[in-house]
Amino acid sequence: MPQCDECGDAVEKIHRLYKQRNYCHKCYVRVFKKQDCPSCGKSSRLYKADNLAVCQQCETNRPCIRCQRIDYPIGKITEQGPVCNSCSVYFREFQACERCGVTSQRLSRISRFGDNLRVCPKCATRDYQTCQSCRRYRLIEQDVVSGKMLCKKCLTCPPLQCLTCQQQIPAGYGKYCELCTWRRILGNRIKELVNTLVNPSLKGYFKDYMNWLDHEVGPHKAALLIRKHIHFFEKTSDLWGDQIPDNDSLLHRLRTSGLRKYELPIRWLVAVHHLHIDTQSKGHCSEFDQLRKLANSCPGSSLSAQILQNYYQVLINKMDLGKTSIRSARLAMKPASALMLLVSQSRLDLPTMWHVKYYLFKSPGQACAIVGFLNFLNKNYDTNLDTSWVLDEKITEKSNMKKLEKQLLAIMKAPEENFNELEWIKLGLMYFHNLDKSFFNQMDSINYRGLNDGFEVRFGDQQYWIPKLLV
């Protein structure tokens, strides 16, 4: 039996539900007193402890708190106000699907399954298929005449005409063809989003861009991209006036990554408004952003972060004096950032030779690039790191050989069906014959044949032998 939330008694019938609380008839008469409704002025029983309480009719006549619709069927009365029938599903509690266990707010019983289970939308449509006429995902039946699997509308109703373009369409489409449907959706989204732009001149530019995008990629893709691309105009709102923003202002505001992210708006500016993109400025901006990201790669309060910032300032000063380029500075900062990130994960504040050896074992190609940073540490932090060891070709060669050994072992441990013959030969040439990568970049065009005990590889006038992997 239901229980009154006011007195706690079990009753046969709840007389009033108010703000998610149940009231029996006895408590209703005691708690709800007759007085004039502050909204409509009619006499009604109102909750005595709530000065803002209104009568039930005024309560249900308020707009839906989610979609702001008026004159709608009531789906639920919440503490914040009424909700229409369409929006009421979003105010239900999440419950587990009785078939798959996934939580959902849209559980329902489907009579055609005959199992009386409350299931989620995915389980409720598990017997749906794509209609071969309208391409909608629905319950389908086989047409006796054509043998096609069709939905009920396409099977029973004759073809219709699109109300916009008058093209004949399957009945399952509805009133509009697919192209016109997406064009209507695009138009509605343009009307909705254009009002979010404050700059009046920018609204016209946005509409022009969406018309261009409609012809460039079609209304379907344009409707899906519009919410992403409105951010381009919002971020650059103050740059638009009588003329479009220039390359420098867009690059300063969005950076190179932003220009890549909003490729289509930039293409529109180039094609329609003849915006000139300076590739050299883009490259410099990209290198500088990468340099700054590497300099900030360590936790902000650690000594490693302070060391990287000091080294970053040294590189910037060298760039200002013309002693190095932005690309060289970024390449110098990369091993410094990786080394200090490794140090920050240990108990030490400054790198030791163990850190340097471990890093170069993992990345032997960074040996030359890290020397400048090691000299910086020796000069400013008294670390006494041996740079001559770093530049030793034998050490670098040993690290490369260990790396090749790991790659060869990985191939040997892989299943036989995944064995890559060409990759084994390439690594074998590097490991057994000390050939450089550049020596066989075109390996797939070089002749090699399998022998009983290995592979015979011909590269120009040279002949090499690689052992065969024993299974």
Closest CA to 405 of 431, 423, 379: 431
Question: Cβ distance 26 to 36 under 8 Å?
Answer: no
Helix (H) or strand (E) holding 464: strand 462-467
pLDDT of residue 80: 77
SS3 84: strand
pLDDT digits (tens, 9 = 90+) for 26-46: 888 888 888 888 778 888 888
**Pairwise CA distance, residues 406 & 362, whole Å:** 11
pLDDT of residue 401: 77
Q: State whether the Cα torsion 421-427-431-436 is positive or negative.
A: positive
pTM of the model: 0.62
More confidently predicted of 131 and 21: 131
CB-hemisphere CA count at 13 Å for 84? 14
Rg of the Cα atoms in the chain:
36
SS3 86: coil
Per-residue 3-state assignment (H helix, E strand, C coil) for 246-280: CHHHHHHHHHHHHHHHCHHHHHHHHHHHCCCCCHH
Closest CA to 390 of 374, 376, 404: 374
**Pairwise CA distance, residues 369 & 311, whole Å:** 14
In the predicted structure, residue 442 carries a pLDDT above the cut 60: no
More confidently predicted of 180 and 408: 180
CB-hemisphere CA count at 13 Å for 41? 0
pLDDT of residue 118: 94
Over pLDDT 70: what percentage of the chain?
95
Query: Which single residue is written with the structure tokens 């690309």?
Result: 327
| Average pLDDT of span 302-321 | 92
With b for 16 or more beta-carbon neighbours within 10 A and e for fewer, the 400-411 pattern comes to eeebeeeebeeb
Residue 288 pLDDT grade (very low, low, confident, very high; cuts 50, 70, 90):
very high
Query: Which single residue is written with the structure tokens 């919410």?
Result: 227
Question: Cβ distance 290 to 328 under 8 Å?
Answer: no
- Domain range annotation of the chain: 95-127, 130-174, 180-277, 284-391, 400-467
